[in-house]
Amino acid sequence: MSPETQVSPMGPLVMLPGACSTSWIFNDFRSYFEAAGWNVLTPELRHHDQVPGLPADPALSGTSLADYVDDLSRMIEGLARPPILLGHSMGGLLAQLLAAKGLARGAILLTPAPPWGVLPSSQNEIAAAMGLMSLGSIWDLTIQSVFEIAAGNSLNCLSPERQAAAFAQLVPESGRALYECLFWMFDLGRASYVNAINVDCPLLVIAGGRDRVISPATAQKVADKYRDRATYLEFSRMGHMLLLEDGWRDVAQACHEWLAANQLDRP
């Protein structure tokens, strides 16, 4: 069934952005799923609701993944029913953390950051971690995106014009949150730890075959963590920003079909 023919309200569907992103990244997805009859919510992460290009809120540097999870947990607990979570990149990790708290009926993980214990699978992933390490005590910093790095990695499947437009929308990120994602082996608080036993909802893990930030092999490891509860899909020509790339509608359609197949599209 095409989204245009759906009329009954469904959801809620909560979309969670990744590092350095705000809800703008879901503009196309939000329109698609609202047309399908979904009640879509796109919350901003703590200290991310700012005008792109401005200096970071000083409080951002000490913000943990746990802070993001606490904020989102309170929002979700105020809903009439547990939502479907759709998270991109670091938002995919947040979706896993929330699902482990029993706060999701289902979760769609788009090029998800892996949880505690999942090692990087590619040289690009290792190089990204080493690049952040060179900045020093990143857990005390706010991290600003660098265009040349973003263009070659997260934005690599966009045209130069669209790279510039997407980069202009990025905001600073908490160095502590990135540290907890990338250097989990040194994080005594284990902020990114997910007990897979506690995730009892179905999951869809989607990878981009040309993703230089979260490789398909790493996304497959995330799916494997949840065994038969997870379905893995790979779009071979897409990269990390598949929400913004030319094939985004194909990805949205795959999500739409998975929701229907798992009877998660019922009001």
Looking at the domain assignment, is residue 44 inside a domain? yes
Task: Give pTM, 2 decimals.
Answer: 0.94
Q: What are phi and psi of 88, to 5 degrees?
A: -110, 130
Q: Has residue 225 been placed in a domain?
A: yes
- Lowest model confidence (mean pLDDT) among 4-13, 146-155, 176-185: 4-13
pLDDT interval class at 4 (50, 70, 90): very low
Residue 13 gets the label, from left (phi > 0), alpha (psi -120 to 50) or beta, of beta
50: in domain: yes
Q: Is residue 1 part of a domain?
A: no
Is residue 129 situated within a structural domain? yes
Domain interval for residue 128? 10-261
Backbone torsion region of residue 53, taken as left when φ is above 0, otherwise alpha when ψ lies between -120 and 50, otherwise beta = left
Mean of the pLDDT values across residues 76-100? 97
Residue 220 lies in a domain: yes
pLDDT at 72: 98
Q: Is residue 267 part of a domain?
A: no
Task: Give me the number of domains the chain comprises.
Answer: 1
Do the Cβ atoms of 189 and 166 come closer than 8 Å? no
Mean pLDDT of all residues in 197-220:
98
Q: Phi, psi at residue 139, to the nearest 5°?
A: -65, -15
pLDDT at position 2 over 50: no
Where residue 253 sits, what CATH number does that domain have? 3.40.50.1820
| Predicted confidence (pLDDT) per residue in 14-38, tens digit | 999 999 999 999 999 999 999 999 9
Within a domain: 65: yes
